[in-house]
A and B are shown apart, each in its own frame.
Chain A
Amino acid sequence: MKIAVCLGNVPDTTTKVKFVDGATLDKAGIQWIINPWDELALTRAIELKEDAGNAVNSVTAITVGGKDSEPTIRKALAIGADDAIRVDAEPADAFAVASELAEVIKGKDFDIIMCGIESSDYNGSAVGGMLAEILDLPSVSAVSKMNISGNEIELDREIDGGKEVVTVQTPFVAVVQKGIAKEPRIAAMRGIMMARKKPLDVVPSTGISANAEFKSFGLPQPKAPCKMVDPANVAELVSLLQNEAKVL
């Protein structure tokens, strides 16, 4: 069985974002990381491979990004992916990214394709579902647990107010959320050394164009200062919530 994990390269979640002329992200000083949900997907894929009870032969990390995204995909190799593919294209929108991913994945006989449910940059929650539709594969979204039994995969899928245990046949796309792995795995020194020798294929972009254009960016209005209430007078807070904020 072969697993592919699609990874996005995003600013660290603590980044205070800024924009140049309100039109492009100011990349100065930004630390880039594997998108947190994708990192959990990768962790689970590696766990499944490590469990000898599963016949998982390989975990391939795939990203769409320019040369500057290479440290992020190398990190995936250091964490434990066997090989990696970088599509040499700037990620313009979810559709363009999903289309580029589909081109690479087609014909490679992956059994499970994993994507995070959201990216922390454009928050589209779109790539995994789009990829599945382009590839005409089943998909299960909001997956918080995944186990393999033969070529049937058992998953927990979060629904409004609970969860469902579902099964699906491979090949399919798993769109995963928190819970799929406990903690993202951290690369050890040995892994970092080994990653330098692992194959990283760079493939050219197919030039598929985006259909959503991020025209301009702005920052939220600064919030009015917090109204502080004396801890000796909690009743005043409740009265403010009732009469001023009108939320009680």
Chain B
Amino acid sequence: MSVLVYTENWDGKFKKLSFELVSYAKGVAEMLGTKTTVVSIGNVDEAELAKLGNYGASKILKVEGDNLSSLDNQVFTGIISQAAIKENASVVILSHNNTGKAIAPRLAVKLNAALASGLGKLPLSVDPFTVNKKVFSGKAFADVVLSSDVKVLTLAQNSFELIENGGAAVIETFDAEVGQVKTKVKDIQKQTGKILLNDAEIVVSGGRGMKSPDNWGTIEELAELLEAATACSRPVSDEGWRPHNEHTGQTGKIIAPNLYIAAGISGAIQHLAGVSSSKCIVAINTDKDAPIFEAADYGIVGDALKVLPEFINAVKEIKAK
């Protein structure tokens, strides 16, 4: 028996999300009294792979190949399922990001496994295997019992603490059968030099209360100062003031940063569904009855256009100290 984790790599590198996954898998493995194996697909060097040992991986199966640099859902599902069978995995864990969402459901079918997705905490029990997950976009929680022999779980990003334990992993080359790649990538367009919204520990977000796209300079200045990502509410992206990939909310991005600063956002229930897992929410809004204040930890009733520049000055002062 074992717990198997799949972590993707970004141009041959892992990131915090990868270490969260391994830390989580190690926790599940301890509950089951077993060990954690990682399967890595694509070209990653040994030094990078070795980092995963520190978070609890006992073994790493590496599957390399130049045709594995971009995702083909069927090919990746095939490789991970072969690894799960080889390792006799009873639980397979992936991220609840776009890659995990693409593969996990396919993998669940292939392994005759039940799937529980978007988890933030360790299982409540392993016999019966019970997890607690958010439902109705965070408006409720459910205890879900997975009755299959194998279980597939996906972990929400930024929801599980990293646990370093100084361990070392055995790295093996895994000769998996790679199926036919049917998804052909014609072009890749990457954001460069910006902190990604899903990775960010701090997010500065603007709503219609910012009044005009011309006023986004202060949002960007504050974000840069705090090494934060920028985000926006749905009306702002619908108006074309900001790109769609900045829209946080139920149908946009669901994020869980340590600090979410909502400037001029009223906090419609759909917006809160995307940000309510943030550890700390700051709201700046002219309307004292705006629903954002019910979700916020700290609030200022005031015009975001006046408050943000003062916020920036105050941050500069503490940075100078």
Chain A residues with a Cβ under 8 A of chain B: 11, 13-17, 19, 36-37, 93-95, 98, 117-118, 120-130, 132-134, 138-142, 144, 154, 157-169, 172, 175, 178-179, 183, 211-220, 223-224, 226-231, 234-235, 237-242, 245, 247-248
Contacts and interface: CB of A to CB of B under 8 A. Distances in A.
Interface stretch (B26-34, B43-51, B307-315): B307-315
A228 B302 CA distance: 11
A227 B226 CA distance: 22
A223 B295 contact: yes
Interface string B269-306: 11001000001101100000000011111111110001
Majority secondary structure, A binding face = mixed
Given A17-B136, A178-B247, A238-B318, A162 B188 contact: yes
Contacts, number: 272
Contacts of B215: none
Contacts of A139: 73-74, 102, 106
Interface stretch (B82-90, B142-150, B161-169, B206-214): B142-150
A163 B250 contact: no
B259 A248 contact: yes
A204 B10 CA distance: 46
Majority secondary structure, B binding face = mixed
Interface of B: 10, 70-74, 77, 96-99, 101-110, 113-118, 130, 133-148, 154, 182-191, 196, 198-199, 202, 226, 238, 244-245, 247, 250-252, 258-259, 269-270, 273, 279-280, 282-283, 293-302, 306-307, 310-311, 313-315, 317-318
A165 B109 CA distance: 27
Contacts of B269: 13-14
Contact of A237 (B135, B199, B314): B314
Nearest to B234: A178
A132 B106 contact: yes
A245 B281 CA distance: 10
A98 to B, nearest CB: 7
Given A133-B110, A229-B299, A235-B314, 15 more contacts: A126-B108, A127-B105, A129-B105, A129-B106, A142-B98, A142-B101, A158-B245, A159-B188, A166-B184, A183-B238, A220-B139, A224-B297, A229-B300, A234-B307, A245-B280
A178 B184 contact: no
A217 B102 contact: no
Given A17-B139, A122-B135, A245-B280, A234 B109 contact: no
B142 A214 contact: yes
B196 A120 contact: no
Contacts of B141: 217-220
A211 B114 CA distance: 5
Contact of B186 (A159, A165, A231): A165
B319 to A, nearest CB: 9
Contacts of B187: 164-165
Contacts of A219: 139-141
